[in-house]
A and B are shown apart, each in its own frame.
Chain A
């Protein structure tokens, strides 16, 4: 009971990481594709402006998931981290490069330096979700056996499903970012940027959908167990995700950006929870289940209580952070800006 609750809380954390930090990574990907320093300046300013205040808080969800995994399911943590040492090291280095170079770029003024840091930021924003996606793929397809470093350090995460996981992660991040940025651009009074990101959201939505469909065929041959779960118990969630994904097109077409945000987030959420439902209760193939790997109740109970108490402070604070920067700045500021 407590173990299932812990897993659910961890999955909520993972979902938040995907929806918030994922969009930050995606914004980095659009930064990469924004073009030369002059042509892309406006887009980069918008991206920097919208992820600047929130990316660090969004990033903490990852730490949340990692800590909850080792606290709640220590043998699973040990097995995943030790076998998937390589992609996780690459992801970790990507996280470092992304965060540091974003902060460096923000305070640099020379164009040359901004370009170097910007390139690092944007490049690592693509690399990091890719490797995290391969990790998800490796776990989902049962290529991480229990034990310390028991799996193959290379083939465990280079199979077709893992690569699919990596590509889908990058696409989903880019898609979320494009959808979110439409509204950000509209709010900051830049309709031409909103149009640009609307086109990108539509295109990435189509590509992501196509890759996901093709992915079903890959899973069928590469990961029959996951395939059976996704087309069995998890089918409602998969269908829900597909419907939400399809509903995005008319929403974006009619420029209902706020609704489009919610629906895009729901589509990604449904995929993550579909994976969880499909695989439950097995965490690691063949037989490491939730019950078999969970920490003792004497650990889970106080941890969950601590998180609940923390949430009382955390949720309003997060709400304030997001809402503060979704509002327009104070009136005087805008007039001053206009005067400059």
Chain B
């Protein structure tokens, strides 16, 4: 292997590279979540439509399929950009460790292939296949979408818990790709992410119909469009909170510095309080709400549990504490807000069975409306915790971002270009989706005939 020479990197270019990667990832992750969750909703609606003959379900399936077509296309290209950026921005990482994490990416490639193939069939063969066969072509999209998410997050988990290689003089030897892929961080991270994807897709879809309900469109179509995704999201939410607890406890054991930043713990010790909110000043968090012994209890179920603080590592290896801590609190806060929505829905459904009347007040729709954007906020905040909490490392304890970045000049220009193009794409997506929501369903492909069967209310 040819030795890789590290050149001097200008700080501005490093910041630009991080900003570009962070921005394009934060953008793509929303699309990726919709790519996992929307096919699930669409296939479910189509299947219910076939089973019950209910026009509203059929129309929902058609509408969601059209949105899915646009979102999948945009997600596919923004995902491609990420694979380019791995090399354009972080050649130091890929040149050294590309082979260690290549296996999950290769499998992700196959999963994505299957997703793209069956999406093409699902969207365009509506009139070429029998309804039952058509709904079956949606299943590979769901399975492959979840598999893609699993493989990609395995690779990301490896950056948190690098395994499966030996480093000798900066060279990688004795690579065990399976050990790298199934690193200890993979189980909590993949489950947490896949559930998050389903939640984001469900709550976001429900939000759209909450707007319509609030505007007075209370027909069956809009009610189903609201309650079908909301119910799935509500079922997943409590599970996600348990999984999130598992993930945080994992971080406490395996990445103590990240946990210290998440919770703003500066000094190692027992009886560590749980601090909600607050800003890092000097060597402590100020203005936060402290719950005595809270963190020790959460991590080890006992106030005597020792929590390792930031003092365990030199100061230049601290993640940005305020940002990570507040992002974590934000994610957890939104999680509990979504749990409130879920419990409210469950109580409403329960009372409906008892009294035969739907007892959800108008205020509930407002909560349902807020839940979608809130879920996206939680997603981004959680992502921030994972990535910022690992700083300054790109591979925990092994390689810093500074050593991974491309030394070529002009990364700042790339950042601006990417910002402009993504801004344009954002406007395009929002505009097109808004138009789609207003339009009566015109055929996805010109040859489609069965559109007449689905009158719009």
Contact = CB atoms under 8 A, between A and B. Distances in A.
Interface stretch (A88-96, A160-168, A264-272): A88-96
B421 A97 contact: yes
B124 A52 contact: yes
B410 interface: yes
A307 B104 CA distance: 11
Interface string A72-86: 101101111111011
A109 B439 contact: yes
Nearest to B112: A60
Given A96-B421, A147-B5, A298-B175, A81 B87 contact: yes
Contacts of A54: 120
Contact of A71 (B4, B103, B425, B435): B103
A70 B69 contact: no
Given A148-B406, A321-B121, A70 B445 contact: no
Interface in B54-90: 66, 69-70, 72-74, 76-81, 83-88
A256 interface: no
Interface residues of A, number: 82
Interface string B92-115: 101111111011011111101110
Q: How large is the interface on B (under 10, 10 to 19, 20 to 34, 35 or more residues)?
A: 35 or more
Given A303-B103, A318-B117, A153 B408 contact: yes
B314 interface: no
B87 A92 contact: no
Nearest to A62: B80
A153 B76 CA distance: 28
B87 A80 contact: yes
Tell me the dominant secondary structure on chain A's binding face.
helix
Given A96-B77, A104-B428, A85 B117 contact: no
Contacts of A253: none
B343 interface: no
A170 B2 CA distance: 34
Contacts of B132: none
A251 to B, nearest CB: 29
17 contacts: A56-B72, A56-B116, A70-B98, A71-B105, A74-B95, A74-B102, A79-B95, A89-B417, A95-B80, A99-B77, A100-B73, A149-B407, A298-B175, A303-B177, A325-B120, A330-B127, A333-B127
Closest 3 CB pairs of A and B: A71-B102, A81-B87, A78-B95
Interface of B: 1-2, 4-7, 66, 69-70, 72-74, 76-81, 83-88, 91-92, 94-100, 102-103, 105-110, 112-114, 116-121, 123-125, 127-128, 140, 173-178, 406-411, 414, 417-418, 421, 425, 428-429, 432, 435-436, 439, 442, 444-449
